[in-house]
């Protein structure tokens, strides 16, 4: 809003409607670093959600594999939607992820995630010329059009399971993985590497999440001061 207002005032001065540089009087709005705490789905809620998926059906096997990718690897919804068959190296146990701005990274493929994807490919994925790993269940049988397809899948899965998650989106799994890694002692650089953060400041936001761990430090520090 302030940027637009400055532009308008500069234009007004250029036209001669005003003589003073009123754009310089528009105040600068503070851009606080890390203004909010990420809303992360808990490990227990993730377990409940995965347990609620009916893997006896083709759609269930697909949804289970997608949710595992979100929860175990912290992938973005778009990274899951655009994952292709050639991106999985079964022999090496790796998956090539296409991240933001064309960034490509190799990630280890956990055994349970690989098993879930294989189950879908063998006993769930419809016949299609598409090279996408995950396909729509309804015609036309193609890959998801974009991240919204994965987001919709997450929302419906949470609603069916009756889970009161922090949000209804897919990004909460990414936040959940980061907070779990932090609680287990992982460094910020390790978390940033897993999540594919190019800017270290992006990862720093998770230092404000583990309140429980911070509380345990308070009495220790207090007792050590008495020594």
Catalogue the active-site residues.
76, 100, 171, 174, 197, 206
Using CA atoms, how far apart are residues 209 and 175, in angstroms rounded to an integer? 10
For residue 111, the Cα-to-chain-centroid distance in whole angstroms is 21
Stated length of the chain: 227
Using CA atoms, how far apart are residues 93 and 108, in angstroms rounded to an integer? 6
- Treating both helix axes as pointing N-terminal to C-terminal, what angle do 111-123 and 58-73 enclose, rounded to 10 degrees? 160
- Exposed / middle / buried, residue 191 (Cβ in 10 Å: 0-12, 13-18, 19+): buried
């Amino acid at each position: 809003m302030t940027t637009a207002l400055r532009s308008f005032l500069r234009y007004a001065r250029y036209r001669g409607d005003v003589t003073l540089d009123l754009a310089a009087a528009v105040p600068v709005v503070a851009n606080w670093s890390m203004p909010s705490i990420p809303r992360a789905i808990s490990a227990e809620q993730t377990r409940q959600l995965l347990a609620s998926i009916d893997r006896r059906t083709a759609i269930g096997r697909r949804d289970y594999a997608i949710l595992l990718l979100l929860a175990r690897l912290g992938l973005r919804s778009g990274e899951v939607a655009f994952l292709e068959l050639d991106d999985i190296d079964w022999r090496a146990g790796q998956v090539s992820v296409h991240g933001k701005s064309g960034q490509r990274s190799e990630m280890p493929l956990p055994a349970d995630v690989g098993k879930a994807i294989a189950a879908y490919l063998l006993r769930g994925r419809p016949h299609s010329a598409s090279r996408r790993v995950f396909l729509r269940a309804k015609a036309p049988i193609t890959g998801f059009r974009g991240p919204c397809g994965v987001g919709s899948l997450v929302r419906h899965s949470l609603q069916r399971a009756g889970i009161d998650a922090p949000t209804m989106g897919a990004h909460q799994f990414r936040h959940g993985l980061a907070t779990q890694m932090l609680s287990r002692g992982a460094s910020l650089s390790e978390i940033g590497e897993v999540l594919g953060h190019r800017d270290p400041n992006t990862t720093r936001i998770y230092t404000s999440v583990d309140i429980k761990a911070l509380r345990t430090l308070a009495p220790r520090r207090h007792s050590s001061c008495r020594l």
